Amino acid sequence: MNSATGASDPREEILIHLPALRAFAISLTRNPSQADDLVQDTIVKAWSNIDKFAVGTDLRAWLFTILRNTFFSDRRKKKREVADPDGLHAQTLFDKPHHDGRLAFADFTRAFYELSDEHREVLILVGANGYSCEEAAEMMGVAVGTVKSRTSRARNRLAQLLGMEPGEDVLAGDSGATLAVLSRSGTQAA
Amino acid sequence: MNNAPRKSSLQQQIDENLKRVYEETLKEEVPDRFVQLLEQLKAKEREK
């Protein structure tokens, strides 16, 4: 009885996006088991609402939208966290790492997870996935200007947590060394 | 004063590291439960 036969059903492609969905979910929840629950809810919602997906548009962006909406509405329901879009709360919890020009990846990861949910979200969408501010704005349901300012505040907060004040000369002094370490660690990951 | 290029290189470093944080989780294997869930949803639909 199913008329939607064949490869044109976008639901067949959900599988391909699961690793990305899961990575985004982990970035938001900071907890693998919560992340998996979030991915599960996203799959079920996407499956039953597939008629709302505009065929030919970015399926991953659509799935990301469902995932982040689910995450933030769950958070509102549970009220389990203090609203803190600028990560001020997080900053006080952070133990500033040594700064000797060698930025360890572990420090970066730790600093990233200390950011507020809103900051992690925008950095994963714009910084890591390379979505434009316009695309991210659509996914997040906010104005483009909000995405731009939030991205910039999130990057600054991250730099601050890592002991690199954006306005300071810290980086200029040993930027060569820092950059070298960063790009070397980048290639190691591959 | 002329910290614009410096800032953008800092931004670049941050983005490179962000990609790495993201890719680390991307590399993890997707749990079977999701593949099974998709199969179940598909099967349920066929019954209709």
State residue A100's pLDDT score.
47
Question: Which residues of B are less than 8 Å from A127 in CB distance?
Answer: 14-15, 18-19
Model confidence pLDDT, tens digit, residues B1-48: 444 455 567 788 888 899 999 998 898 888 999 999 999 999 998 887
State residue A6's pLDDT score.
45
- Structural domains counted in chain B: 1
Pinpoint the alpha helices (H) of A15-102.
18-29, 32-48, 59-78, 88-93
State residue A80's pLDDT score.
55
pLDDT along chain A (190 residues), means of 10: 57 94 95 94 96 94 98 85 52 46 75 96 96 97 98 93 63 43 42
Q: How far apart are CA A142 and CA A181, in angstroms?
A: 36
Mutate to test the interface with B, among A9, A41, A112 (most CBs of B within 10 A): A112
State residue B8's pLDDT score.
67
B46-to-A1, A5, A32, A139 alpha-carbon distances in Å: 8, 10, 32, 31
Its ipTM equals: 0.82
State residue B39's pLDDT score.
94
Tokens for A160? 């601050």
The domains found in chain A, sorted by start residue, are 13-80 (1.10.1740.10), 83-190 (1.10.10.10)
State residue A131's pLDDT score.
97
State residue A106's pLDDT score.
86
Question: Which residues of B are less than 8 Å from A23 in CB distance?
Answer: 22-23, 25-26, 28
Render A135-171 in DSSP notation, one character per residue.
HHHHHHTS-HHHHHHHHHHHHHHHHHHTT--TTSSHH
State residue A103's pLDDT score.
58
State residue B47's pLDDT score.
82
State residue A35's pLDDT score.
95
pTM, entire model: 0.76
Tokens for A116? 């507020």
Distance, in angstroms, between A163 CA and closest chain B CA?
12
Domain that holds residue B21: 4-47
Distance, in angstroms, between A42 CA and closest chain B CA?
11
